[in-house]
Amino acid sequence: MAAAQVLKSEWTKIRSVSSTVWTLGLAVVVTVALGALISILSKNDYDSLDARDKLTFDATFISFAGMSLGQLAMIVFGVLVVSNEYSTGMIRTSLAAVPQRGAFLFGKVLVATLLAFVVGLATSFIAFFVGQAMLGPYRAGIGDPGVLRAVIGGGLYMTLIAMFSMGVAAMLRSPMLSLGILMPFFFLISSILGNVSATKKVGRFLPDQAGSKIMQVKTPFGDDTPYGPWGGLAIMVAWVVVALLGGYVLLKKRDA
């Protein structure tokens, strides 16, 4: 099957499965709504901050507070895109139509990544402008130093979360197993490692903690992270590459 046909086929698969479409919609709603709520609370709490915290008040990053839940939907999207065919048994038909397994996986990941990027970038811009509107006099402007980078970075972050999930799902094949590992990894293990002093230096190299650095405009007081926004994104990209390579290797080795 020609490359264009593979991409068209994968686009049709994604579009025809309502659960994948709904998860992307949910990512937008949850990210924007929670970001707006946290922005309102931060505005009301601003006067109670001490001088040091006011200096490091990051209006841009506050508007992305909803990303913590929005990435949940992106994880589900990435898992469903890859593992749906395994759970329904359609993977045999797909591999019969596209016997080149690398082309099959690449086509699936490429189409899903482009879709995740469009949705993630739109979500990031909407969350930013809504959040800044809620912050009122404490808002940041899109032209302020580092702000546009952070907003575009928010879209890249959501995209990479989806890609990492695709790689894990390609390795594990089961949607339940994939979600059963990814959810605790991002929402429990990463939080614990990142907040416990003994493991903090390890936690900062996990994909979500490293990647979220791209959305920061101001560095929190006392933050001694050894990399900047782009360094953090590079670490996240490395995690994604490893996950996708693992998925590719196992797809080549195993039976459908």
Give the pTM: 0.92
Confidence bin at 255 (pLDDT 50/70/90): low
* pLDDT value of residue 85: 77
Whether 1 has a pLDDT exceeding 60, the answer reads no
Q: What is the pLDDT of residue 96?
A: 65
76 or 20, which is more confident: 76
Domain boundaries, the chain: 3-253
The pLDDT-based confidence of 57 (bands split at 50, 70, 90) is very high
User: What does pLDDT average to over the chain?
Assistant: 90
Q: Which residue has the tokens 């605790």?
A: 184
Q: What's the CA gap between 205 and 190, in Å, rounded?
A: 10
Across the range 223-227, mean pLDDT stands at 88
CA distance 71 to 49: 29
Per cent of the chain over pLDDT 70 is 94
Q: What pLDDT was estimated at residue 101? A: 77
Could you read off the pLDDT of 101-127 as tens digits, one per residue? 777 888 889 999 999 999 999 999 999
Per-residue pLDDT, averaged over 211-223, amounts to: 90
pLDDT value at 256 more than 70: no
Per-residue pLDDT tens for 241-253?
999 999 999 888 8
d(CA 213, CA 192): 18
- CA 35 from chain centre, in angstroms, equals 15
Task: Extract the tokens encoding 231.
Answer: 């360094």
Spell out the residues 6+ positions from residue 45 whose beta carbon is closer than 8 angstroms to its own: none
pLDDT band at 150 (very low <50, low <70, confident <90, very high): very high
- pLDDT at 164 exceeding the cut of 60: yes
Nearest to 78 by CA among 211, 157, 12, 169: 169
Name the residue with higher pLDDT: 141 or 20: 141
**CA 133 – CA 39 distance, rounded (Å):** 9
Q: Are 154 and 119 in contact (CB under 8 A)?
A: no
| Predicted confidence (pLDDT) at residue 97 exceeds the cutoff of 80 | no
CB 122 within 8 A of CB 152: no
- Answer whether 84's CB lies under 8 Å from 175's CB: yes
Q: How far apart are CA 17 and CA 65, in angstroms?
A: 29
Can you spell out the DSSP letters for 139-181? ---TTSTTHHHHHHHHHHHHHHHHHHHHHHHHHH--HHHHHHH
Q: Please tell me the predicted confidence (pLDDT) of residue 199.
A: 87
Chain-centroid distance of CA 194 in Å reads: 18
Q: Tell me the pLDDT band of 31, cut-offs 50, 70 and 90.
A: very high
